[in-house]
Chains A and B, each alone.
Chain A
Amino acid sequence: MSAALSVDTDALEHAAADYREAAALLAPLARAPLAAGLYHRLVGGPPKVAEVLSVLQHRAEEAHAVANRLSDLGEQTADRLIDSARRFDEAEELCTTGGR
């Protein structure tokens, strides 16, 4: 099978650094614990107010989980790019040396 694949591994490492930078922007928010969490503050007031406050708390928790996930994805993408760059380099070396 022939494949016209071109890869610039140095550039991939630069991209990995960018992904880490993006992840780092979210990390302080994502890693900070949400106060109380499952112990949602008991929300008082008329039923509709209590309901909307409860949903808002939940949405904030979900946003926190999403930030966590995006930060993880940034780190994971960076790791995979570095790993891919290393494997491409190894493969290239293997091709260059002909397996010797």
Chain B
Amino acid sequence: MAHITSSWAATYCLEDPARTADPIFAADSSSADEARHILTSISGATLEADHPLNRARRTVAGAWSAEQPCAAATRLVAAHADTAHTCAAIADVAQRVVHVIAAAHSAARQAYADADAAILAHDLTHYRQELGTYPGWDLPTMVITAAERERVDSGRQAVIARLNVALFATYRDLDSGAADAGRSLASAPWESLPAAARPAVGHPADDQNQANLALLRRDLSDPAGPRYALALAVDQALRKAEAAGQTAQLLGYEPTDPPGQGSVAIAIGDVDAATSVSVVVPGIGNSPATIGESIPSAGLLNDEVIAQAGAAQGTSATVLWWGYDIPLSWPDDVAPAPEGSSRAHHLSDTAMATSAFGAVQAGKRLTAFTASLRRVMPSTSRLTLIGHSWGSLVVSQAALRTDRNVRVDDVVLAASPGVGFQLESADDYVAVDADHVYVVALPKDPVTMSLTDKMADAPFPLNGALRKKIFGVDPGPFGPDPADESFGANVIDVPSEQGSILPISLSVHALTNYLSGESLQAIAAVAAGNGPEIRLRQPN
């Protein structure tokens, strides 16, 4: 939040009120309101269904003398009643959360309004100047007295202190209100159903696929609409998979988020049935509009995982997650353009490729996706995150933020220029232990070399100093190299499938190269749970 108190706080070395206010205002109640609406509707409909169901139960009891049909009819009535009750209870919690957030927003706004009023009442915006004389000259000039400085400075500091106290209290209320609500959400709606009727026996990933396909069809039905081009590209990608005899599930489809690019997730293989699910995160220069190009690689990875796990062990699904704001995607992007200058958007999209700063936000998105994916996967299936190139930064930052209870089994960082900021070694990851972090850095891949760091910094010579100021040390534009021995990951020892007589070759860096030959076999082995058997590079 841009408010004068933030710059004053910097001047007086005080806590910036915006640091507390920003998260309060970032709490968006609209998703809670949406959830409340869905739950209330379902509760109402299940209650309404009680009349025909009870009628049917009485009819069956009178028409069929056997016990079982009547018992089944009674269970169905009870399941509806329990669902109505549970959904209504959760809707109440959602309503409470909406109120708690609205109250926090209101209190924070009031705190700022009070601060504004105090600033105005005590005339703290500017130092008042008095008429004085310029030394040595007989000229009138405006001067600020020491007493005036003291008055304004102490007044501003008091305003900031009061504002911080009010915002801290608001934050605490919001936090405790949310915690209270969270405790009431322990039971899920399906727990009220008889075991045989629970949707867990269904196909949650395919349900999601069907829901997203409906959105895709909506966009395809409007060729003049802004979402049509991306919808068409996604449809073609799905058809490409189908033509290759693969099962494809559209697990994510957001044409307007991020603006100008959109985001798409396509699973090759059936996530509902998969015993091993891999999420592939691409690097720079990819776009959801060209996701179809990676479908063959996903198919190869699936086949290799199944081969390594043994066909009897089950099946594999590979999720192509083109779900973050991918740097340098703009040349291929077809999604609705963002507001503002397209040139500025292209410049920022390009600049993002030269450092790890954007990977934090991207990592948070992957964390959210991974948690959602885990909820629809079979509970015993393996989950592996694979990042290629800049995508390895995203996977790394997600692994730094993903709770253990999401149960990520392994992480693979392929063709990585670095792991991003705020970590020094594989021990820093939250999602996995260091021995579940694998690195593939093919010889002659320039992106894995320090050369890339130098090239990334070349247009921005002050970046090194900036990073040093922020982090205390300069970890380079992309953070520590995961292939470095000191990082403590398992560095896989494999040659490149793509030969080259040159000392470096960009073709070695391609995702298709990393997902071929011995590199593919090694990555598939990790996904299949055979990581400990892979040959690792020996420390120097």
Q: Do A and B come from one complex?
A: yes
Q: Are B62 and A68 in contact (CB under 8 A)?
A: no
Taking the complex as formed, is B395 at the interface, i.e. its CB lies under 8 A from any CB of chain A?
Answer: no
**Contact between B65 and A4, CB atoms less than 8 A apart:** yes
Q: Give which listed residue, B62, B207, B265, contacts A8 with CB less than 8 A.
A: B62
Instruction: Tell me whether A26 and B63 are in contact in the complex, defined as CB-CB below 8 angstroms, given that A60-B35, A65-B204, A67-B42 are known contacts.
Output: no
Using C-beta atoms within 8 Å of the partner chain, give the interface range for chain B. Answer: 35 or more
From known contacts A29-B41, A52-B182, infer whether A22 and B26 are also in contact, taking CB-CB under 8 Å.
Answer: no
**Is B251 positioned at the interface, with any CB of A under 8 Å from its CB?**
yes
Question: Smallest CB–CB gap between A15 and chain B, Å?
Answer: 4
Alpha-carbon separation in the docked complex, A19 to B49 (Å) = 9
Question: Provided the pairs A22-B49, A53-B31 are in contact, do residues A66 and B42 lie with their beta carbons within 8 angstroms?
Answer: yes
User: Is B27 within 8 A of A46, CB to CB?
Assistant: yes
Q: Are A62 and B189 in touch, CB under 8 angstroms?
A: yes
Report yes or no: B28 in contact with A43, Cβ–Cβ below 8 A.
Answer: yes
Residue pair B178, A19 in contact (C-beta under 8 Å)? no
A14: B residues at CB distance < 8 A: 59
Q: Which of A38, A51, A52, A60 contacts B39 (CB 8 A)?
A: A60
Contact A59 B35 (CB under 8 A): yes
SS class of chain A's interface: helix, strand, loop or mixed? Answer: helix
List CB contacts (< 8 Å) of B313-327 with chain A: 323
Q: Which A residue sits closest to B100, measured CB to CB?
A: A49
Cβ–Cβ < 8 Å partners of A51 in chain B = 178, 182
Contact A12 B369 (CB under 8 A): no
Contacts of A7 in B (CB 8 A): 63-65
- Is A38 a contact partner of B376 (Cβ separation < 8 A)? yes
Contact A70 B79 (CB under 8 A): yes
Q: Is the CB of A64 within 8 A of B42?
A: yes
Q: Does A56 contact B (CB under 8 A)?
A: yes
- A6, A10, A38, A42: the one contacting B65 at CB < 8 Å is A6
| Interface pair B63/A15, CB less than 8 Å apart | yes
How many of A's residues come within 8 Å of B, CB to CB? 60
A15 touches B253 (CB 8 A): no
CB < 8 Å neighbour of A18 from B53, B171, B371: B53
B178 near A21 with CB under 8 A, answer no
B residues bordering A, Cβ < 8 Å?
23-24, 26-28, 30-32, 34-36, 38-39, 41-42, 45-46, 48-49, 52-53, 55-56, 59-60, 62-66, 72-73, 76, 79-80, 83, 86-87, 90, 93-94, 97, 101, 171, 174-175, 178-179, 181-182, 185, 188-190, 193, 197-199, 202, 204, 207-208, 210-212, 214-215, 251-254, 257, 263, 265, 323, 364-365, 368-369, 371-373, 375-376
Do A70 and B207 touch (CB < 8 A)? no
Q: Is the contact region of chain B dominated by helix, strand, or loop, or is it mixed? A: helix
Q: Which of A12, A22, A58, A77 meets B72, CB within 8 Å? A: A77
Nearest-neighbour CB distance to chain B for A74, whole angstroms, equals: 7
Instruction: Find the B residue at minimum CB distance from A43.
Output: B31
> Which of B39, B53, B86 meets A19, CB within 8 Å?
B53
A74 and B49 contact, CB distance less than 8 A: yes
| CB-nearest residue of chain A to B38 | A60
Q: Does A87 contact B (CB under 8 A)?
A: no
Query: Once the chains are docked, how many angstroms separate the CA of A73 from the CA of B26?
Result: 41
- Given A29-B45, A41-B31, A64 and B208 contact (CB-CB distance below 8 Å): no
Collect the chain A residues with CB atoms within 8 Å of residue B42's CB. 26, 29, 63-64, 66-67
Q: Would B56 and A59 count as touching, CB distance under 8 A?
A: no
| Interchain CB contact under 8 A, A15 and B60 | yes
A-side contacts of B27, CB under 8 Å? 43-46, 49-50, 53
The one of A40, A57, A59, A69 that contacts B198, using a Cβ cutoff of 8 Å:
A69
Q: Which of B23, B56, B179, B376 contacts A22 (CB 8 A)?
A: B56
Which of chain A's residues has its CB closest to B188's CB?
Answer: A62
Known A56-B93, A56-B185; judge A65-B199 contact (CB<8 A): yes
Contact A15 to B56, CB < 8 A, known contacts A26-B49, A38-B376, A49-B174: yes
Residues of B within 8 A of A67 (CB): 42, 45-46, 83
